Structure 1
Amino acid sequence: MTSGKDRTGRPAARSAEPHAVHVSGEMDLGHAEQLRAMLKAALDEAPDGADIVVDLRDSSFCDSSGLNVLLATQQRARAARHRLVLAAPSHQMVRVLELTGSTGLFTLVPAPPS
């Protein structure tokens, strides 16, 4: 999980407006490339330091393909000094993160910012 601090230990500046991506349906092998393209576009378009919020309230399922896309996006986001936030993850999504030891790699919030 990102600490919210820059390399000097000071709090990292965050953009006031998070950049949101709404995901609906399944994050599985059949949709992995579409998910990857959506998240890549969000990263490419996000202002410096903006949070990338992945709104999962309408996502029903995530398999290893979807998780791999999220993990790869997390690495890209971190390298670009963004924070990937998973908003409103389902119980199944949280369980996948727990079972794979990935929970600490993401910031989880109960609902997308309004």
Structure 2
Amino acid sequence: MTSGEDRTSQPTAPRNAGPHVVRVSGEMDFDHAEQLGAMLAEAVDEAPDGSDIVVDLRNSSFCDSAGLNRLLGSRQRAQQAGHRLVLAAPSHQMVRMLELTETAALFPLIPAVAL
């Protein structure tokens, strides 16, 4: 360090942790559960610190127990990494399944993703 330079460490404010959006299309079922899980795991790994991971479901037509299990596992992984998994634009069928399985309270639901 040359004279006149001050390299003291300054505390930094947390960066703006906007949402990390994952767009899902088609069915979240047994045939696609592995792909869904991989996509959500990648989102958790790539999301900025403290950001929400928003799963955009407006183009998803169906979810079965395999899809729900992947969402639940991804929710837990996201929490462990300091994120919150949010479901955006879930279908009536999806909301009903969450209610029937008593998992609705585990996921914040929002009507749409801001583009």
Q: TM-score range, shorter-chain basis?
A: 0.7 to 0.9
- Residue in structure 2 matched with residue 84 of structure 1 by the alignment: 85
Looking at structure 2, the residues matched to 87 and 15 of structure 1 have their Cα atoms a distance apart, in angstroms, of 20
Looking at structure 2, the residues matched to 59 and 21 of structure 1 have their Cα atoms a distance apart, in angstroms, of 12
Looking at structure 2, the residues matched to 31 and 16 of structure 1 have their Cα atoms a distance apart, in angstroms, of 29
Looking at structure 2, the residues matched to 14 and 79 of structure 1 have their Cα atoms a distance apart, in angstroms, of 20
- Residue in structure 2 matched with residue 94 of structure 1 by the alignment: 95
Is 1:59 aligned with 2:60?
yes
Larger radius of gyration: 2
| Secondary structure, aligned partner of 1:95 | helix
Q: 5+ unaligned residues in a row in structure 1: which ranges?
A: 1-12
Structure 1 runs of 4+ aligned residues shifted over 4 Å read none
1:113 to partner: Cα distance: 2.3
Given the two structures, how large is their TM-score scaled by the length of structure 1? 0.86
- Residue in structure 2 matched with residue 9 of structure 1 by the alignment: none
Q: What is the percentage of aligned positions where both structures have the same residue? A: 70
For the 8 Å contact 1:14–1:49, the answer to whether it is kept is no
Is 1:37 aligned with 2:38?
yes
| Paired residue total | 102
Looking at structure 1, the residues matched to 67 and 33 of structure 2 have their Cα atoms a distance apart, in angstroms, of 6
| Secondary structure, aligned partner of 1:81 | coil
